[in-house]
Amino acid sequence: MLSTLFATAQSDIPDNYFAPPLDIELLLSGTFGELRSNHFHAGLDIKTKGSTGLAVKASAEGYIGRIKIQHGGYGKALYIYHPNGYQTIYAHLDNFSPKIETLVKKAQYQKESYEIQLFPSKSDIVIEQNEIIGYSGNSGSSGGPHLHFEIRDYESKPMNPFLFGFESIKDSKPPQIFALHAYPLTNNSHINGHTDRVQLKLIRRKDGSYRTDPIKAFGKIGFGIDAHDVLDLAYNKNGVYSVKTELNGKPVFNSTFDKFSFYETRYINRLIDYEYYKTNKRRIHKLFLEEDNPLSLYKDVYNEGVVEIKENYLNQNFEIQVSDFKGNTQTIHIPIEPDTRSIAEAKKAKETEYFVKKNAASVFEKDKIDIYIPKNAVYEDMYLDIKIEGLNVDLHKETTPLHKSITIGFDVSEYSTADQSQLYIAKVAPWGSKYYVSTYRKRDRLTTKVNQFGTYQLFEDKTPPSIAPKNFRDKQWMSNFRYLKLEIDDEETGINSYRATVNGEFILMEYDYKTKTLTHDFNDGVVTDTKNQLKVVVTDKVGNAATFEAEFSRKN
């Protein structure tokens, strides 16, 4: 079993070319290809015992070709370029090894910015295999301390790290099936008398596999599973590696997570049942392909994975095999019998004045709002349900996926110029919470680009951010302090910028949005005077500014 799985690996890279990036036993909280919001997970999430500061080691020799530091995303991340054209990536780090840290700080002080991106040249930072390059952390969009580790091939496509060994990861259990669903796919097809998705009850058999009761079906139908894999020694629910289906012993469908391109990752909205996900917060992996699904992870798919049941098709046997990388497989048997009843179906899309074609751009305008939908923003032709009232737009349904961003424009000429500057566009959730969306201003017009349907509305933000000291008081002696910490927050639109100076000189502050904390490290060596005037200016996303000033002293 294993040998056939490994056969898909790039043959030019020897097994174990890449060494584990941590010294501890590798336990995972995320696997390659795992289904996430609008993307597939591009690497392994390695657990770091719930804390930060574990030494992170270069997986193979090479040089640091890219350093990226951002508030969100990968946080502090290092990219090692290897002689074979591959890259390894280490993300959410706490800090870097001294030779990298020195280069980073220099660039940050030069640019006067915590967020930076550097592309050092080949000879700048040469790295040996197993050399310590940094320490694990929780920086960026990380839900807890861990190391995100990624391998990209010479075309910068992320690959499943399991293809390169890492055999020490223990997995003796097959994937777990949470639910099985069946879909009638055309107007005249039906399953157990239903013309819409039906969940099928799973019955455990003595050998550990599952079966369903025989289903009665007619016409073109498909299946979908909600499954995850659990490794040994950790409770985390990870992604499954491969799903295959067969009809009467003949292969129908196969999706396998070996590698993908970043340009295709948003097509995850086509792989999952998006409406079900938006409604139930669970992802059903569809085992059939609809229009506009070019994902490269599908192999050997016949008839789009669709099964057709005709009147005389007795005793059909459909089988689903869900596997993890080690080849542990869970199997589901689904007996299918033809159902010759004709069942009236009532699903017809509501016709509206807003029809969008997948292959053409559409523009809609009404009162003070205009909407631009580019070509290929929707996955199929459809009627949109749009309600416009003043400066509020209900733009179709949140349960319909968008592949590309659409532009919404608001005519705000009824506001004075001063008031206009504090206006912003927010997405209003069905439960009433509002979320700022990037708002662009041009004369009497505000626009935003959004990649989800839903309700969008104008609001005003007149409240500047708040700034408060976190580990000191005004006029305090801070001789023995390593860090200077402040808490910054903005309730309406969020933090746009922050800048701190001591005695008029820029000091670097690291911003962690998760803890709302700005941190200066006195080891940077830029605060050298005894008496110091600290000034911090913070702005929100409409430009409201707040200033904080304090005095502190340090013996040098």
Judged by CB under 5 A, the stretch of 131-139, 145-153, 211-219, 290-298 that binds Zn ion is: 145-153
Q: Report the residue number, 45 or 273, with the smaller CB distance to Zn ion.
A: 45
Q: Using CB atoms, what's the residue nearest to Zn ion?
A: 148
- Taking the complex as a whole, how short is the minimal distance between the CB of residue 150 and Zn ion, in angstroms? 8
3 φ/ψ angles, rounded to the nearest 5 degrees? -60, -35
Q: Report the residue number, 24 or 126, with the smaller CB distance to Zn ion.
A: 24
- Taking the complex as a whole, how short is the minimal distance between the CB of residue 135 and Zn ion, in angstroms? 17
Q: Is 554 in the site for Zn ion (CB under 5 A)?
A: no
How far, in Å, are 67, 114, 489, 511 from residue 520 at the CA level? 20, 11, 17, 9
Q: Looking only at residues 308 through 327 of this chain, which bind Zn ion when binding is defined by CB under 5 A?
A: none
**Per-residue binder mask for Zn ion (CB under 5 A), 66-85, x = binder:** --------------------
Q: Report the residue number, 92 or 190, with the smaller CB distance to Zn ion.
A: 92
* Residue 161 amino acid letter: P
Is the Cβ–Cβ distance between 367 and 356 less than 8 Å?
no
d(CA 321, CA 317): 13
Cβ neighbours of residue 96 closer than 8 Å, sequence gap 6 or more: 67, 76, 78, 104, 133, 134, 135
How far, in Å, are 61, 224, 282, 301, 328 from residue 322 at the CA level? 36, 11, 17, 16, 8
Judged by CB under 5 A, the stretch of 128-136, 140-148, 164-172, 267-275 that binds Zn ion is: 140-148
Place of tokens 């060596």: 525
Cβ neighbours of residue 425 closer than 8 Å, sequence gap 6 or more: 408, 410, 436, 437, 439, 446, 448, 456, 457, 458, 459
Size of the site for Zn ion (CB under 5 A): 2
Q: Is 150 in the site for Zn ion (CB under 5 A)?
A: no
Q: Is 148 in the site for Zn ion (CB under 5 A)?
A: yes
Q: Report the residue number, 148 or 228, with the smaller CB distance to Zn ion.
A: 148
**Per-residue binder mask for Zn ion (CB under 5 A), 360-379, x = binder:** --------------------
Among candidates 337, 339, 378, 338, which has minimal Cα distance to 357? 378
Q: Report the residue number, 179 or 234, with the smaller CB distance to Zn ion.
A: 234
Identify the three-state secondary structure at position 85. Answer: coil
Q: Report the residue number, 141 or 405, with the smaller CB distance to Zn ion.
A: 141
Q: Report the residue number, 142 or 256, with the smaller CB distance to Zn ion.
A: 142
Q: Looking only at residues 6 through 25 of this chain, which bind Zn ion when binding is defined by CB under 5 A?
A: none
Q: Looking only at residues 327 through 346 of this chain, which bind Zn ion when binding is defined by CB under 5 A?
A: none
Q: Looking only at residues 26 through 45 of this chain, which bind Zn ion when binding is defined by CB under 5 A?
A: 45
Structure tokens belonging to residue 170: 């223990």
Footprint of Zn ion on this chain (CB under 5 A)? 45, 148
